[in-house]
Amino acid sequence: MENINRKFNAAVTAVGQFFPDEVLDNKYFEKIVDTTDEWIRTRTGILERRILRNGATSDLAANAIKDLMKSSGLKPEEIDVIIVATVTPDMLFPATACLVQEKIGATNAWGFDLSAACSGFLFALKSGAALIESGGYNKVIVVGADKMSSIADYTDRNTCILFGDGAAAFLLEPTTDLSIGLQDSILRIDGVGKDSLYMLGGGSLNPATHETVDKKMHYIYQDGKTVFKFAVKGMADVSVEMMEKSNLTSEDVAFLVPHQANKRIITATGDRMGLPREKVMINIHKYGNTTAATIPSCITEYYRDGKLKKGDNLILSAFGAGFTWGASHLVWSMD
Ligand code: COA
């Protein structure tokens, strides 16, 4: 365990989420690209996803935090820090965190955006927890939010069927009970992933020009097979490593909370950890891959369905563009 020298752990004390109302089911994609409902269901596990027509990532994030505030009574002026994990910021600058701050009226907060793609929430959780553990902050919001429809190419069947829009948020607060909250994390990056999952246009390497638009460089490109291979191994290895580092057996783990990119990757990870299917959180069928939002939205839904209890050992696990990947051991702290 990492917590031997800590005075505080970061505990999750409130949750919230937001998904837009508009649903795109698999039949919709049969009309716009060469695919079938059957292919999408069997190869990915996705049945439908949500799409935000009007508005941006900051709206998704702000709505998730408003849901958190409504369910917990947290007042916006109490928030010390807002960390927004996203790869679809409203714009390159200002940071989405600033736009969210204004939308929710968090008048005493500072904050920043964190770019780690599908591992963004795990990286944000660790960063937020470190601020809490430092003793300097009492109320840190970590929110995973992505409007993936803004960078998906709806003429490319390889990618457009995979993604959806959504956001989910946690409130982190200090606790002196070191048996609950974020216990430990194993986080990794490897730039070898730059060749198989990326969006080339719009940054300092390829600023937007007519040419970058003509070449569709402002859309997601993914070499699905390569990413799949890295993801299956990366997520399973790091999840098992996290269990072993925390001295947890499969009986001790209440739930694996995997990033929701592909049901086959999720199942393989659960199997490697020796977990029965009912201990593996899943909501990919409803929302597709919402990038930074998948892990906190799974937890929010399972908590609200009464499936989580205080003291439950959760292993959170993700793999994404970069490559970025990792796992965290979180002990649930809400009744
Ligand atoms: N409908 C029908 N056929 C499709 C299709 C679609 N929507 N998308 C791809 N195909 C085709 C491919 O063109 C390919 O055809 P080909 O053999 O004639 O070239 C065939 O299906 C098989 O492609 P393949 O890449 O082997 O499929 P797959 O079983 O690996 O599934 C993904 C594709 C994208 C679902 C899968 O690779 C995946 O989930 N990758 C990892 C995603 C991930 O974890 N990302 C990280 C975080 S974002």
Which CATH number is 258's domain given? 3.40.47.10
306 and 241 co-located in one domain = yes
171 and 187 co-located in one domain = no
Domain count, the chain: 2
> In percent, how much of the chain has pLDDT > 90?
98
Q: Closest residue (by CA) to atom 8 of ligand 1? A: 158
* Rounded-to-integer distance, Cα 116 and Cα 320, Å: 7
What is the Å distance from ligand 1's center to 66 Cα?
A: 36
19 and 168 co-located in one domain = yes
Instruction: Choose which residue among 228, 264, 265, 317 to substitute to test ligand 1 binding: the one with the highest number of ligand atoms within 8 A of its C-beta.
Output: 228
239 and 129 co-located in one domain = no
pLDDT of residue 5: 80
* Rounded-to-integer distance, Cα 119 and Cα 327, Å: 9
Q: Which residues are known catalytic residues? A: 118, 259, 289
CB-based pocket (< 6 A), ligand 1? 35, 39-40, 43-44, 118, 157-158, 161, 224-225, 227-228, 231, 261-262, 265, 289, 319-320
Domain of 69? 2-179
pLDDT(2) > 70: no
**Where does the pLDDT of residue 186 fall: very low under 50, low under 70, confident under 90, or very high at 90 and above?**
very high
pLDDT of residue 4: 63
pLDDT of residue 87: 98
Q: Is 291 left (phi over 0), alpha (psi -120 to 50) or beta?
A: left
pLDDT in tens, 35-60: 999 999 999 999 999 999 999 999 99
Mean pLDDT over 213-219 rounds to 98
Structure tokens at 193: 């992933």
216 and 283 co-located in one domain = yes
Structure tokens at 320: 């994404």
* Rounded-to-integer distance, Cα 333 and Cα 314, Å: 11
What is the Å distance from ligand 1's center to 44 Cα?
A: 9
278 and 327 co-located in one domain = yes
250 and 175 co-located in one domain = no
pLDDT(1) > 70: no
Q: Closest residue (by CA) to atom 10 of ligand 1? A: 158
Mean pLDDT rounded to a whole number for the chain: 97
